[in-house]
Structure 1
Amino acid sequence: MRWIKEIYNCFHAYKLWFLILIVTNLLFIFFAWLAYPETFKVLVGLMIVFTLAMITLPVFVIMRKQKIIEAALQDFLLEPNETNEDILCRVSPKTHHPFIRRMGSVLRSYQTELNEQVMELADYENYIEGWVHEIKKPLSLMTLVLDNRSDEMSPLVRRRMLHVRDQMLGDVERILYFARLEAAHKDYMFESIPLLAFCKQTMEDHRTILDESGFQIQFIGEEREVISDRKGLAFILAQIIANSTKHAAQNQVHPILTFETAYDKESDHTILNISDNGPGVSGEDLPFIFDKGFTGRRGTYTREATGMGLFLVSKMAYDLAIQLDAKSEPGSGLTLSLIFPHVK
C-alpha cells in the first residue's frame, strides 16, 4: 500500500508533464492513423509500450530521488547545520537552493535562541530550588522560636505567627512543586488511604490557618478507602484549603468548609466533595478556574489571588488519575469534587 501511495503522489506532483506526454502520444496516434492506416495497429502498440516505459522509468527514478531528498531533509531539520544544508542542496533541484539556504539561516537562529532560553530556564529552576531550600532555614528557626518561647508571647501573637508561618510554608511548597512540574520522574507511592480520616489529619496540619480565618469544619458521609499518593493528595487538599481561606473575608456569614464522601454505583467511583460557603464563582468564570494564572472577578477584589493554586491542583490530580469537577453559583460557595478511580 505504501508504494502505491508513493506512485500516486508522484503522478499527482508531476501530473502536468504526464498529461502533456499523453496528449502528445494521442496526437501522434492520430497522425499514424492518417499516414499509415495499414500498419496503424502495430504503430499504436509500439507507441503505447514506449509511452508506458517512458512513464514507468521516470516514476521510479523520481521516487528514489524523493527518498534521498526526504532523508537529507530529515537530517537537516534535526540538525540544521551548514553541513546538512549543503547535503540537502546537492540532492535537491537548484531552484530550491535559495529557499533551503534561507530556511537554514532561520532555523539556526531559532535554535540559538532556544538553546539560550533552555539554559536560562535551567538556571532559573536551579535558583528557585536553591532559594526554597534556603528559605526553609529561617522558617525552621521561626518554628523553633515559637515552640521554645511560647511563654514569652501572648496566645494571640503566637497564633498569628503560626498562621503567617503556615502561609509561608504553603507558598514555598507551591513554588517547589511548580518548579518540578515537568520532571521526568516523580516519586509517587500509591497506597490505600481512608479518605475521611486523611482529610481530618490534613485539617489538623492546617489548623492555624483555619482558626485564623474562623472556619468551621464539617465531615459528612461514610469512611471510604481510595488508592492514591499521600503527599500528592495532601498537596491537593492544602491548595483547596488555601483557596477557601483567601476568599473567606468576602463572605458575610460564618465560613464553613465541608468534606463529604459519596459513592457512584454506575461508574464505581469514590467522590470527595469539598464545599465552602464563600462568594462562589460566576458562571462565565467557572470553566476556567483550573487554568494557569486565571483569577476571574474574585481576584480583583481579594488582591491575593494568583491563579496558581487550582492550576497546581489540576496538574497533581492529573498525575494521580483523579478527575476534577467544580460547581458554584455566585453567593452560594464553591464545591470541588475529587473523583477517585476504582482500583481492584
Structure 2
Amino acid sequence: MGLKLFLKENISFIIFELFVVLFILSLYWLDGFRNVDTAIYSIVISMVLIFSFLAIRYVFRKNFLNRISNLPNSMDDALQKNAKTPEHLQMEAYLQELYRHYQNEVQNLYVKQNRQEKFLNQWIHQMKTPISVIELLLQEEELDRSSIQEEVDRLKRGIEMVLMSARLEKFEEDMQIDEVNLKEIVTATINDNKRLFITNHVFPVINIDQTITVTTDSKWLKFMLGQFITNAVKYTFKPNKKVKIFVEKDEGKTVLFVQDEGIGIPKSDLSRVTKPFFTGENGRRTGESTGMGLFLAKEICEKLGHELVIESEVGKGTTVKVVF
C-alpha cells in the first residue's frame, strides 16, 4: 500500500523528468548533434538517476506512507512518531496538536453533558414534590387555591431554570444587549415573585433611582435577579424580615445590591456557592436546592461582562452584588 501511494504521488514527477530529457535531446538534435548511441546513453543515465533518487526518497518515507495507507484502529496508531523528513515531522506535530484540541473539545462536551444530565436528574426529582403536594391538595374536600398556586409557582420557577440552563449553551445566539432601566427590571422581578414574599412573610424594599440604566440583556438580568430574590426569601426563615434591593455608584461603575436578613452562608461554603450542584449546609437544611441557581448566575455575569460578588455572615444575612 505504501509503495502504491508513493508511485501515485510521484508519477507526475517521473513524467516531467522524461519530458525534460526528451526536450534537451530535441535541442541537440536540431543543433545537428545526432549520435543515437549518445542519446540512448543519456536517457538511460537520466532514468537511473531519477529512479535512484526516488528509491532513496521512498526508503525515508516508507514507514510514514505505510502508516497513512492503513486506517488506524485507535488514536495511538494514528499518533505514532516514525517520520524522518522535515515535512512528515511537521505533519506529525500538526496531528498531535490537532488531537490535543480534539481531546479538549471532547472533554468539554463530556463535562457539559454530564452536568446537564445531573441537573435534569435533580430537577426532575425536585419537581416531584410540588406535583405530589398538588395531588394531595386535590384530594381534599375544600380546595386550597393559595397552596396550589404556591406549588404551581415552584413548578414555573423550576421550568424557567431548566430552560435557561439549556439556552446558556447557545448564549450568544440568544443575547440582546441594550440600555435597560434597572428599577423597571427589579420591580417586574419582584412582582413575578410577590406570592413567594407573601407566603414567607418577607418584604421587598426597593431603593433605585428611576433614571439609572445599565447596558445588559434584560431577559438574562431578570433571570439572575429571580435567582437572587428566590434564595434571599427561601433562606430567610424568620417572618417580617426584609430583602433590600438598591444601587450604588463606585468609581464610574453601577453596582446592584440584593441584601437579605436571612441565615447567611457559612464561611466554608461561601467560595463554592457558584460551583455547579453545590448545595452546601443551607441547601441540605431546606432540601430544595439544585445547586445550579448561583452557578447559572455566575455564568451569565461572565458572558455579559458583569462581575458577581457574594458576601455573607452567618446569622446576619447575605449580600449579592452585580457590578455593571
The counterpart of 2:236, out of the listed 227, 248, 255, is 248
Matches within 5 A, 1:106-185: 121=113, 157-183=144-170, 185=172
Q: Distance between the aligned counterparts of 1:225 and 1:327, measured in 2?
A: 24
Aligned counterpart, 2:221:
233
Deviations 1:252-311 (A, max 9, x none): 3423111011111x2x11011001100011222212211112222212221222211111
Deviations 1:232-262 (A, max 9, x none): 011101111221232223xx34231110111
**Matching residue's letter, 1:241:** I
Q: Distance between the aligned counterparts of 1:221 and 1:294, measured in 2?
A: 32
The counterpart of 2:298, out of the listed 303, 306, 314, is 314
- Structure 1 residue 338 displacement after superposition: 0.7
Deviations 1:6-37 (A, max 9, x none): xxxxxxxxxxxxxxxxxxxxxxxxxxxxxxxx
**Matching residue's letter, 2:205:** Q
Aligned counterpart, 2:288:
304
Call closer, same or farther: CA 1:183–1:279 in 2, change over 3 Å.
same
Could you tell me which runs of 5 or more consecutive residues in structure 2 were left unpaired when the two chains were aligned.
Answer: 1-56, 85-98, 135-141
SS at match of 1:181: helix
The counterpart of 2:205, out of the listed 177, 198, 218, is 218
SS at match of 2:268: coil
Aligned counterpart, 1:192:
179
Contact 1:272 1:338 in 2 (8 A): yes
Matches within 5 A, 1:253-264: 253-264=239-250
Report how many aligned residue pairs link the two structures.
224
SS at match of 2:149: helix
**Matching residue's letter, 1:232:** W
Call closer, same or farther: CA 1:257–1:91 in 2, change over 3 Å.
same
Contact 2:229 2:258 in 1 (8 A): no
SS at match of 1:176: helix
- Structure 1 residue 332 displacement after superposition: 0.6
- Structure 1 residue 91 displacement after superposition: 2.8
Aligned counterpart, 1:32:
none
Deviations 1:68-108 (A, max 9, x none): 99xx7xx99xx96569937946536xxxxxxxxxxxxxx9x
**Matching residue's letter, 1:202:** T
Contact 1:324 1:336 in 2 (8 A): yes
Q: CA RMSD in A?
A: 4.1
The counterpart of 1:281, out of the listed 262, 265, 288, is 265
Deviations 1:313-335 (A, max 9, x none): 11111121110111111111100
Contact 2:201 2:239 in 1 (8 A): no
The answer to whether residue 189 in structure 2 is matched with residue 202 in structure 1 is yes
Contact 1:159 1:208 in 2 (8 A): no
Percent identical: 26
SS at match of 1:196: helix
Q: Distance between the aligned counterparts of 1:87 and 1:305, measured in 2?
A: 45
SS at match of 2:222: helix
Deviations 1:136-177 (A, max 9, x none): xxx9xx9xxxxxxxxxx87xx333222211211111111122
Relative to the length of structure 2, the TM-score reads 0.58
